[in-house]
Each structure stands twice: as C-alpha cells, then as structure tokens.
Amino acid sequence: MHTKTVLITGANRGIGLEYVKQYAENGDQVYATVRDLNQAAALRHLASQHDNVELLTLEVADVSAIRALANVLSTLTVDILISNAGTYPDSAFGNTDVQAWLHAFQVNTLSTYYLAEAFLPQLQRADAAKFIAMTSKMGSIADNGRGGEYIYRSSKTALNMVVKSLAIDLRPSNITVAALHPGWVRTEMGGPNGLIDTQTSVRGLRQVIAQLDTHQSGHFIAYDGQEIPW
C-alpha cells in the first residue's frame, strides 16, 4: 500500500494526538506540530517508538510561524494536511471577551487559511492531496438550536466558509478540501461527557479522509460519514 505523508497541527493531546498515533501505526510518515514541546510528553513518547513521526513546533496563531514552517519543509510532498489545533473559550450572551474572540478567530479560522496558502506547493506535489479542516457542528448555522457559545460557534462558521472557498480555489490543483466534524469527543475540549473516545472518532475520520474524492470537496462531513448541513 502506498504510504502517505501527513501533517497534523495541535498534535500533543486529544484528537490530534490520536491522529498521529493511528497514522503512525499505519506506517504513514507523520509530521506532528505542537506549540510547546514541553507540554507534549505523550507525543514525545509516541515519537520515540515510531521513527516515522517527526515533531515540529508551531504556534498556529502566528502567521509568520506558519510560513517559516512551510519554508523549513519546502521540499516535502504532503498528501494529507489536517488543520486540527483549536480553542474553545467559554462565551455566553453578556459574557464575551473581545481579545478572546479575536484570538479564537486567529486559532480556529485564520490558521487554516494560512496553512493552505503556505503549504500549497507541498500539497500540489502530491497526486491528489487532501486538506482537512477540523471544524465543529457547533459552527453549523442550520444546527444551532441552543444559542450561546458566540466565540466558538462564530469562529467555526467562518472556518466553514474558508473551507468552501478553498475547495473552489484549490480545485485546479486537484486538492480536495473538507470540513470534518469529529463527533462529541472525550478530550479536554469535549469534556468527560462526550459521546465517543478519540480512538472511535479518529478511526472514523481517517476512513472519511481515505474515501474523500474530488466531488466531495467543499463538503461538511462528520466522523461517521454523515453530511452536515451548513
């Protein structure tokens, strides 16, 4: 089987860490980025057991750092890029923080766009690259029946629109772009009441990614393959 080169952001815990584990165990070449290697004991342990895992530092809110990383990896071919790092500051009506809101847009929305821009040459080198944005059903306008969570919801809704435009702009380069929802997952972000564990979520997500074809570029899909309304 043809092994893939996969780059994953926010890889030190939660869904990102599980992506690294499963792709590494599958024999793929994994580039795992974290903002602080000192906060990445589990990932460092994983990398010590798999010589196909390379660790790199990336603060995704820093656009110049994204560009610098793309420069360091300028000769790479990337088959799958997963923009996974995300943040969820609490926010309710009457209780939102401007700086937290702007920062969440940098982390959840802008970083995905700038990753696509910076890594375009590496993605173009692949036969049929896949560019994945980890979004959330909470960014679905159609699904919003509870209100609240202004910061997280709006940053993921904006991310979804970035995905849609990227899908159109990158089509001539044969790059498939998708917005994936991991389910409600038991991680630091999802909390202990999440419905599924990271193993189940990432197993499903990897299958969705493997089966994605160009006709699904610009789609919003859950870990179990279900299409989600925008």
Site for ligand NDP in 30-49 (CB under 6 A): 35-36, 39
149 binds ligand NDP (CB under 6 A): no
Site for ligand NDP in 60-99 (CB under 6 A): 60-61, 84-87
218 binds ligand NDP (CB under 6 A): no
Query: Which among 9-17, 45-53, 71-79, 90-98 is the span making contact with ligand NDP, rule CB under 6 A?
Result: 9-17
The number of residues making up the chain comes to 230
150 binds ligand NDP (CB under 6 A): no
Q: Could you identify the residue written with the tokens 């969705």?
A: 208
CB of 123 to ligand NDP, least distance (A): 20
Query: Which among 71-79, 161-169, 182-190, 211-219 is the span making contact with ligand NDP, rule CB under 6 A?
Result: 182-190
Q: Under rule CB under 6 A, how many of the chain's residues touch ligand NDP?
A: 28
CB of 170 to ligand NDP, least distance (A): 20
Which amino acid is present at 177?
V
121 binds ligand NDP (CB under 6 A): no
Binding residues (CB under 6 A) for ligand NDP: these are 10, 12-16, 35-36, 39, 59-61, 84-87, 107, 134, 136, 181-182, 184-185, 187-190, 194
